[in-house]
Structure 1
Amino acid sequence: MDTARQVLTVAQMQAAERALIDGGTSVDALMQIAGRGAADWVWRVAAGRAVTVLCGPGNNGGDGYVIAEALRARGLPVKVVAPVAPKTDAAQNARRAYKGDVLGSGKDARGQLLVDCLFGSGLARPLSAEHSLLLRDLAARHPLRIAVDLPSGVESDSGALLNERLPSYRLTIALGAWKFAHFLLPARGSMGDLKLVPIGVGAVEGAAQVIGRPELFAPAVDAHKYTRGLCAVAGGAMPGATLLASEAAMRGGAGYVKLLAHHPPGSASAGLVVETRPLGEVLDDKRISAILVGPGLGRDREASDRLQTALAAGKPAVIDADALVLLRPDMLREGVPLLATPHDGELEALCRSFAVVASGRQARAQALAKASGMVVLAKGPDTLVAAPDGRLASAPPAPSWLSIAGSGDVLAGIAASRMATGIAPFEAACEAVWLHGEAARQCGAAFTAEELARAVSGAIAAAL
C-alpha cells in the first residue's frame, strides 16, 4: 500500500509512532519533522501576515511551538497563546526552544492567521468551556484559520463534532497519516483544503486507504469490443435512470454495453444496443462480463423477478437503486463478485434485510459487507467502500454539485463498466468513485446528470 494514502485510527497512529520510536527516532525528532513540515504550509498561507499559534498541553501543542519557532526564524510576526503549560517532555522541550512571545490568555492576540494546535487526533471528550470559548474568540479575530492534525473539538475515528459552534478552517494539515475525520462528515465540512505532512510512518496492516487516481491504460492494439468487456444493463419500468446508467457505462471503459430493456425506451444513444428479449434468455450470453441491475427497475413483483433472474445468471453484478430495496439474502449466489451501491436509506434497509446490527455508517457498511459477501459502496458526500475481507477506503472530497437526481445512476454505470473490464468489485468501486468525482470537476457548476455521464470520457482521459 502507498503509505501516503493510509487512513489510520487513533490506536493505529499511536502504534505507528511507537514503531518509529522503537526504531530509534525520538519523540522530539518526530515533533520537529511534523512541526517544520506544517510550518511550510502555514508560511505559504500567511504570505507575510501576522500569525497566532494556539498551543495545548500535549504533543499537538508541542507541534505548535515548533511551527511558531520556524515561522519566527523566517521573520514572520508570531505570537503563541498557551492557556495551559506543556505537560509532555517533548512539548516542554519545544516550548523552551521557542524564542518568541507566549501569552497565557488570548485577549491581546490579534492577527490575520490563527493556527489551531490546541488538541489533535487523540481528543475523545468535548473541549472544556474555557477552551471552547478561547478557540471561538480567537477564530472570530483571525480571518484565516489553519488546523494542525485535526481541528480541536473533533473526534478522530468518527468525524463527530464534540462541541457546538466550532470554527471552520481554510486548511487542515494532517500529521503523519490521514485520519478518518479528514474524510467523514460532519467534521470534514469545516476543514477546508487537506494537506499531509509525512513523518516516516510505515505500512500499517489492515489500514484503510484514501481513494486515489486510478492508473488506467488504453486498450491493447489488438483489442475488440468483447475483450474490453460486455456490460449488460437490466432495465425496468422507468427507462430514464437506466439510460443514464447506460450512457455512463458506455464511457466507463467497457467495449460493449447492452441495455436489456423491459420495454423499448423512447430514445437511446445510437451506440447503445437495446435487447427486448426475455431477460433470462439474453443473460445466457457467455460474453457478458458484468451486469448492472437497479436503476429504473421499479419495486413491484415483476421488478423483483427481474432482479432474481439477473442475479441467478451468476455473473459479476452491480446492485443499485430499486434493486437494493428488493434484495433478499436468498437471491445471492456464493462466490459471485457483487457490488452494492446504497445511499444511507438503502444501507439501513439492507442492514435490516441481512440482520446486521451496527452503530454508525462506517460500521454498518463494514458489517453488511462481511455478512452478505458483497462489496459495499456507501455513497454520499462522504463516500466509503467496504469489502467482505475488511478492506476499507474513504473517498476524498468531491464537488458538492454532484447532489443532483441521476448522479447515483451515473456512478452505478461507471462501476458496472469497470467491472465488465475484468476488475474486481472493490477496485472497480474505488475507480468508479474517483472517476465520478473527476467527471463532476470537469463539468464545473450546475450540470445535469446527462452532462455528468458524458463527462466520464474526460475523467477516463485524466487517469491515463
Structure 2
Amino acid sequence: MTGGAILTAAQMRAAEQAAFDAGIDPYDLMEQAGAAAAEIIWRAGHKRDVLVLCGPGNNGGDGFVIARRLRERGLSVRVAALGESRTSSAQRARKAWDGPVEDVMTAAPATQLVDALFGTGLSRGLDEPVAERLCALVAHATASYAIDLPSGVETDSGALLSATPRFGACIALGAWKPAHLLHPAAGHCGRLMLGPLDMAPDNDVQRLGAPLLTAPAADAHKYSRGLVAVVGGGMPGASLLASEAAARSGAGSVRRLAADMPTSGPHAIINRQVDRADAIAEQLTDKRIAALLVGPGLGLDEVARARLRAALDSGHRLVLDADALTLLGEEGGRTMGREAILTPHEGEFRRLFGDLPGSKIDRACAAARSSGAVVVYKGADSVIAAPDGRVAVAGGATPWLSTAGTGDVLAGLAAGRLAVTGDPFRAACEAVWLHGDAARRCRPAFVADDLLAALPAAIAARL
C-alpha cells in the first residue's frame, strides 16, 4: 500500500549525505538526477524545443545536466540562468554545458519549459519580477516541468512563498516531498513523476499507494467477514449513506441502530428501531460487532451525547466522524486508544485538537499521539496518521468530492474495512484510497450516492 517515502528538506539532505558518505560523488548524483529528469521529459515531449531555467544552486545544476542530455538526443535546447552557479557541482554542470546561457529575465519562450531555478529547501519566495517572469514563461509553453519542486514552494508545508505557476508535471528527485501532496503546492505540481537516484530513502511517512485486498475465504460467513454497527441520529440520510458504504466495503453484515425506519435502501442492511440510549447500549453488547461507527447525522443535543457515551463505553473498535467529533471537542477530547479511527475535516480537527503548529503532517501526527487513535485528517490532501508514527499522505483527490455526504461514505468505508481487517491504520488507508478511486470512476457533478455504486468496481480492481 506504500507509494514511496516522503522526506522533508532536512531528511532529504540527510539521505544525500548518507549517499555521499557511502562513496557516491555529489556530482555523480547530480548527473543521475539530470539524466532521470531528461529521460522523462524526452518521453513526454519528444523533439519539441525546450527552454531550461537554471538557478544558482544544485537545482540549477540539475537543469544544466538536463539541457545537455536533451541536446544529445537532438532537441533544440536553450538555457537561461538566474545569475552564476554557486555550488561546486552546479559549476561543473554549467561548465559541461558548452552552449550559450541567456538571462532568465529576457529569454524568449519555448514550446517546453523546464523550471530548475529552486528546488527542495527554499526558505523565502522568489523576487517579484522573477516570479512574474517564471509565470509568464510557463503560460507561454505548451508543456511545463518543475524539477523536484515548483520554484516558490516551501518543501515541508506546501505553502506558496511567492506567486507560483501551475505546471503540467513535477519530477521529484530521489523521493517525494510533502509539498508534492500537500495543498496549496500540490495544486501547482501537475502530474507527479519520480526520478530515482542511487540512494535508499526510508521514512515512516509514505505516499498512499493502492491497497492489495483479498477476497473472502471459501468458508467465510457474514460474521466472520465482519459485523458493522452504525449508530444513527437526527439526520437519517447521513447514517444511511454510511451504512450502505459499510455494506459495500467488503464487510459481511451491517446493523443500523436509529430511531427511524427507512422506507428505501438496501434490504440487506438490518435496521433496528431504538430511540433510548440504554436501548442502544443493550444492542451494543453483541460481541460479534467488529466495528462501530458513530457520528454521521448524530446531532448535537443531549440525546446525541447519550448515544455517543454508549458507543464510547461499548469497548468495540470505533470510527468516529462528524457530530461525534464535535461533541468530543466540546468535552475537551478523550484518549481513544489504538482501536479507533477519527475522521475530522479541518473545522472538526481544530475543534477537537486546537490550533496545532507545523505542517498538516505534523498536526496529524500530534493528534494521533495525543488521542491514541488513527487520525484521518481529511481534505483535498488527506493525511492518515497512527499513534506509532506511521503516516500515509493521499493527494490528487477530485474536487467533485466536495459535496454533501461524501464524508459519510468515507466513514462507512472506514468502519467496513476496520471490521474486515481489524487494523485501524490499514483500514483507514484502504478506505481513503477506495473512496478516491470510486470518485474517479464517477462522472463530474456526482452526488455521494453515486460513490456507493462505484465502490464494488474500486474493490474489484484491487483483488
Instruction: Please indicate the TM-score interval, normalised by the length of the shorter structure.
Output: over 0.9
Offset of 1:333 from its aligned partner?
6.5
CA distances 1:239-290 after superposition (whole Å, capped 9, x unpaired): 1011101111111111111111222223231111112242111110010010
Provide the C-alpha distance between the structure 2 equivalents of 1:93 and 1:357, rounded to a whole number of angstroms: 44
Residue aligning to 1:220: 217
Structure 1 position 408 matched with structure 2 position 407: yes
**Residues of 1 paired with 2:10 and 2:257: CA distance?**
49
In structure 2, distance between residues paired with 1:409 and 1:415 = 10
Aligned partner of 2:378 in structure 1 is 379
Distance, in Å, in 2 between the alignment partners of 1:408 and 1:333 is 23
Comparing 42-51 and 125-134, the one that deviates more: 125-134
| CA distance in 1: counterparts of 2:338 and 2:59, whole angstroms | 47
Paired with 2:338 and 2:103, the residues of 1 have a C-alpha distance of 62
| DSSP 3-state at the match of 2:250 | coil
* Residue 462 (structure 1) aligned with residue 461 (structure 2): yes
Distance 1:237 1:368 in 2: 28
**Equivalent residue runs for 1:410-449 within 5 Å:** 410-449=409-448
TM-score (norm 1): 0.95
Structure 1 match to 2:352: 350
1:239-278 maps to which residues of 2 (within 5 A)?
Answer: 239-277=236-274, 278=279
Aligned to 2:289: 288
1:339 aligned onto 2:341: yes
Paired residues for 1:47-446 under 5 Å: 47-164=46-163, 166-205=164-203, 207-277=204-274, 278-327=279-328, 332=334, 335=337, 337-352=339-354, 357-446=356-445
Larger deviation: 86-95 or 40-49? 40-49
Give the gaps of 5 or more residues in structure 2: none
Query: 2:350 aligns to what SS in structure 1?
Result: helix
CA distance in 2 between partners of 1:246 and 1:161 (Å):
40
- How big is the shift at 1:120? 0.3
The aligned amino acid for 1:348 is R
Q: Confirm or deny: 8 A CA contact 2:80 2:107 kept in the other structure.
A: no
Q: Deviation of residue 130 (structure 1)? A: 4.3
- Report the AA paired with residue 161 of structure 2: L
Matched, 1:27 2:17: no
Amino acid at match of 1:254: A
**CA, structure 1 residues 357+78, in 2 after alignment: closer, same or farther (shift >3 Å)?**
closer
Q: Would you say the 8 A contact 1:12–1:204 is kept in 2?
A: no
Give the AA of the match of 2:218. Answer: V
Q: 1:119 to 1:262 in 2, by over 3 A?
A: same
Task: Give the distance between the partners of 2:431 and 2:188, measured in 1 at CA.
Answer: 26
Matched residue SS, 2:150: coil
Q: Distance in 2 between matches of 1:423 and 1:143?
A: 49
| Structure 1: distance between partners of 2:314 and 2:262 | 24
Q: CA deviation at 1:361?
A: 3.6
User: 1:63/1:331 Cα in 2 relative to 1: closer, same or farther (>3 Å)?
Assistant: closer
Residues 341 and 412 in structure 1, CA contact (< 8 A), matched pair in contact too: yes
Alpha-carbon distance in 2 for matches of 1:135, 1:331? 46
Cα 1:203–1:187 shift into 2, 3 Å: closer
| Aligned equivalents of 2:456, 2:332: Cα separation in 1 | 37
Do the aligned partners of 2:435 and 2:455 also contact (CA within 8 Å) in 1? yes
Q: CA deviation at 1:331?
A: 7.7
How many residues are treated as equivalent by the alignment? 458
| Equivalent-residue separation in structure 1 for 2:332 and 2:119 (angstroms) | 46
Q: Residue 123 of structure 1: SS of its match in structure 2?
A: coil
Q: CA RMSD in A?
A: 1.7
Alpha-carbon separation, structure 1, partners of 2:92 and 2:37:
18
Q: Name the SS for the 1:401 alignment partner.
A: helix
- Whichever residue aligns with residue 353 of structure 2, its letter is C
Deviation at 1:456, TM superposition (A): 1.0
Q: TM-score normalized by structure 2?
A: 0.95
> Within 2, Cα distance between the matches of 1:360 and 1:62?
29
Amino acid at match of 2:281: G
Determine the C-alpha separation between the residues in 1 that align with 2:40 and 2:144: 12
Amino acid paired to 2:186: R
Letter in 2 for 1:439: A
* Aligned-partner Cα distance in 1 for 2:74–2:333: 67
Letter in 2 for 1:405: A
Distance 1:397 1:214 in 2: 16
In 2, Cα distance between the equivalents of 1:248 and 1:81?
Answer: 53
Q: 2-side partners of 1:56 and 1:175: how far apart? A: 16
Paired with 1:331 and 1:228, the residues of 2 have a C-alpha distance of 32
- Partners of 1:125 and 1:213 lie apart in 2 by 35
The CA distance in 2 between the partners of 1:229 and 1:140, in whole Å, is 52
Q: Post-superposition shift, 1:44?
A: 2.4
Q: Any idea what SS the aligned residue of 2:421 has?
A: coil
Give the letter aligned to residue 170 of structure 2. T
Instruction: Give the whole-Å Cα distance in 2 for the aligned partners of 1:294 and 1:23.
Output: 52
Between the aligned partners of 1:254 and 1:163, the Cα distance in structure 2 is: 47
Shift in Å, 1:403: 1.3
In structure 2, the CA distance between the partners of 1:360 and 1:36, relative to structure 1 (3 Å rule), is closer
Q: How high is the sequence identity, in percent, across the aligned residues?
A: 51
Question: Residue 311 of structure 1 contacts residue 332 of structure 1 at CA under 8 Å; is this kept in 2?
Answer: no
Q: Is the 8 A contact 2:338 2:374 kept in 1?
A: no
CA distance in 2, matches of 1:333, 1:315: 15
Q: Note the C-alpha offset of 1:122.
A: 1.4
> Is the 8 Å Cα contact of residues 169 and 189 (structure 2) preserved in structure 1?
yes
Secondary structure of the residue aligned to 2:6 is: strand
- Using the alignment, how far apart are the partners of 1:128 and 1:358 within structure 2? 27
- Letter matched to residue 349 of structure 1: R
One-letter amino acid of the counterpart of residue 167, structure 2: Y
Aligned AA for 1:9?
A: T
2:238 aligned partner, one-letter code? A
DSSP 3-state at the match of 2:113: strand
| Amino acid in the other structure paired with 1:306 | R
